[in-house]
Structure 1
Amino acid sequence: MRHKKTISISLALVLILVILSGCSSTKPTDAQQSEADASRSPESAAVSEQKSERLDLVTLKIMLPGEKPSDYDEVKEEIERRLADTLNVKIDITYVPWSDLSTKTQVTLAAGENYDLIYDAPWLHMNQMVSAGYYEPLDELIERFGPTLKSTRPQQMWDANKFDGKIMGVPLGIFMVQGHSYLIRKDLREQLSLPPITTYEELLEYAYAVKREFKDIMPIIPASSDDEKGYAWAAYRQNDVIGTIRPTHANSNSLMLYYKNNDGKVYNLFEEKDPMIWGWITDARKLYEDGIIHPDVMSIKDWQGEFHSGKSAITLTRSFKYDYWQPAKVQENAPGGTLENVVLMDFTPGKNVINFQMDNFISVPAVSKNKERAIQFLNWANEKDNYDLIEHGIEGKSWQAIGDNKYKDLVTDSHGLASFSMIWNPEHERYPDTDEEETIKKKDFIKDGNNFTPDILTGFSFNSEPVKNEISQFNAIQSKYYSILFNGVGDPDGYFEKFRKEGQDLLAAIQQELQKQIDDFLASKQ
Structure 2
Amino acid sequence: MKKTRTRLPLLLTVILTLTLLLAACGGNSGNNASNNAGGNSGTTDNSSTATNDSTNATTTDTTNSSNAAADNSSKAQEEVTLKFYFGGDKKAATDEVWSAISDYLKTKGLNVKFDINFIPFGDFKDKMLVMAASGDKWDMNFDGDWLSYKQMAAKGSYMALNDLLPKYAPTLYKKYEDQGTLAAATVDGKIVGLPWTMSMNQRKYAAWRQDLTDKAGITPAPDSIKTIEDLDVFLHKLKEAYPKDKLSRSTPLGIYMQRDEWVDLGFHGMGFYLNDPAVKIQPVEQQPFYKEAALMSKKWYDDGILNRDAMIDKEDGAAQWRNGKMFYTDSDHEWVNADPGFADPSYKLGSSLLYPDKKYVNRTALANVVAINRNSEHADRVLQFLDMLETDQQLYDMVQYGIEGKTYVLKDGAANYPDGMQTTTSNYMEWGGQWALWKPQFMRPNPAYGKDFWVHEAEFAALPVNVNSPVDGLFISEDNIKNEVAKRDQAVEEFNKPIEFGNVKDVEKAVNDYIEKQKNNGLDKIMSEAQKQIDAYLASKK
Which of 226, 248, 268 is the matching residue for 1:200? 226
Counterpart among 97, 100, 118 of residue 78 in structure 1: 100
Is residue 484 of structure 1 aligned with residue 506 of structure 2?
A: no
The answer to whether the 8 A contact 2:84-2:141 is kept is yes
Q: Residue type of the partner of 1:294?
A: N
Once residues 56 and 438 of structure 1 are traced to their aligned partners in structure 2, the CA distance between those partners, rounded to angstroms, is 42
- The correspondence for 1:385, drawn from 391, 394, 402, is 394
SS in 1 for 2:167: helix
In 2: Cα distance, 1:177 partner to 1:325 partner: 18
The yes-or-no answer on 1:283 pairing with 2:311 is no
Aligned partner of 2:478: which letter? S
1:164 aligns with 2:173: no
- Out of 100, 106, 128, the residue aligned to residue 129 of structure 2 is 106
1:185, CA displacement in angstroms? 0.5
Residues 346-387 of structure 1 show CA distances to partners (whole Å, capped at 9, x for unaligned) of: 499xx5444734222211222222221111111123333222
Relative distance call for 1:419 and 1:489 in structure 2 (3 A) is closer
SS at match of 1:92: strand
Structure 1 SS opposite 2:141: strand
Note if contact 2:445-2:451 (Cα within 8 Å) is conserved in structure 1. no
Inter-partner Cα distance in structure 2 for 1:468 and 1:189: 49
* Map of 1:12 onto structure 2: none
Give, as a single letter, the amino acid of the residue that structure 1 aligns with 2:493. S
Counterpart contact for 1:485–1:496, Cα < 8 Å: yes
Distance 1:131 1:203 in 2: 38
* 1:498 counterpart residue number: 513
- 1:390-447 deviations in Å (ceiling 9; x for gaps): 122112332234555x532223324056643651344433443455789766523256
What is the distance in 1 between the residues matched to 2:526 and 2:214? 48
Change (3 A) 1:122 1:465: farther
Q: TM-score, normalised by structure 1?
A: 0.75
Name the SS for the 1:298 alignment partner. coil
- Report which stretch shifted further, 454-463 or 213-222: 213-222
Instruction: Answer with 282-291 or 456-465: which moved more.
Output: 282-291
CA contact (8 A) 1:152 1:425 kept: no
Flag the 1:91–1:454 CA change in 2: closer, same or farther, 3 A.
same
1:135 corresponds, among 158, 163, 167, to 158
Partner of residue 142, structure 2:
119
Displacement of 1:322 after TM fit?
A: 7.8
The answer on 1:362 being equivalent to 2:370 is yes
Tell me, yes or no, if structure 1 residue 266 matches structure 2 residue 281: yes
CA contact (8 A) 1:248 1:259 kept: no
Task: Tell me if structure 2 keeps the 8 A contact 1:262–1:456.
Answer: no
- Secondary structure at the counterpart of residue 123 of structure 1: coil
Q: Which of 221, 237, 248 matches 1:209? A: 237
State which of 141, 146, 149 in structure 1 corresponds to 2:172: 149
Letter in 2 for 1:284: S
Pair 1:117–1:340, CA change in 2 (3 A): same
> How far did residue 279 of structure 1 move?
3.6
Counterparts in 2 of 1:341 and 1:112: CA distance versus 1, 3 Å = same
Structure 2 distance, partners of 1:156, 1:451, is: 23
- For residue 248 of structure 2, the aligned residue among 204, 220, 226 is 220
Write the distance in 2 (CA, Å) between the matches of 1:215 and 1:130: 45
Which of 247, 252, 274 is the aligned partner of 1:233? 252
For the pair 1:188 / 2:212, whether they are aligned, the reply is: yes
Q: Are 2:267 and 1:250 aligned? A: yes
1:346–1:152 Cα change, 3 Å? farther
Whether the 8 Å contact between 2:226 and 2:352 is mirrored in structure 1 is: no
Could you tell me how far apart the structure 1 residues matched to 2:184 and 2:459 are? 19
For 1:409 and 1:182, the matched residues in 2 are separated by: 28
Alpha-carbon spacing, 1:110–1:165, altered in 2? closer, same or farther (3 Å): same
Report the alpha carbon displacement of residue 59 of structure 1 after superposing the two structures with TM. 1.9
CA distance in structure 2 between the partners assigned to 1:468 and 1:267 by the alignment:
18
Q: What secondary structure does 2:515 align onto?
A: helix
- Is the CA contact 1:320–1:439 (under 8 Å) kept in the aligned structure 2? no
Q: For each residue in 1:16-40, what CA deviation from the matched residue of structure 2 results, as whole angstroms up to 9, or x when unmatched? A: x9x9665499xxxxxxxxxxxxxxx
C-alpha distance in 2, partners of 1:385/1:217?
Answer: 45
Partner SS for 2:187: coil
Task: Name the counterpart of 1:320.
Answer: 335
Counterparts of 1:438 and 1:204 in 2: how far apart (Å)?
Answer: 35
- Structure with larger Rg: 2
Q: Check whether the contact 2:201–2:466 (CA below 8 A) recurs between aligned residues.
A: no
Q: Is the 8 A contact 1:62 1:91 kept in 2?
A: yes
Q: Percent identical across equivalent pairs? A: 24
Work out which of the residue numbers 509, 512, 516 in structure 1 matches 2:528.
512
Given the superposition, is the C-alpha separation of residues 452 and 273 from structure 1 closer, same or farther in structure 2, using an over 3 Å criterion? closer
Aligned length in residues: 460
Which residue does the alignment assign to 1:339? 349
**Do the aligned partners of residues 105 and 298 (structure 1) sit closer, same or farther apart at CA in structure 2, a change above 3 Å counting?**
closer
Question: Structure 1 residue 187: deviation in Å?
Answer: 0.4
What is the alpha-carbon distance in structure 1 between the residues aligned to residue 441 and residue 461 of structure 2?
10
Contact residue 86 and residue 433 of structure 2 kept, 8 A = no
Q: Residues 88-113 of structure 1, C-alpha deviation per residue, up to 9 Å, x if partnerless?
A: 22222232333443343223323333
Single out whichever of 61-70 and 124-133 deviates more from structure 2. 124-133
- RMSD value over aligned CA atoms? 3.6
Change (3 A) 1:214 1:269: closer
Q: Gapped runs of 5+ residues in structure 1?
A: 1-16, 26-50, 223-231
AA matched with 1:428: F
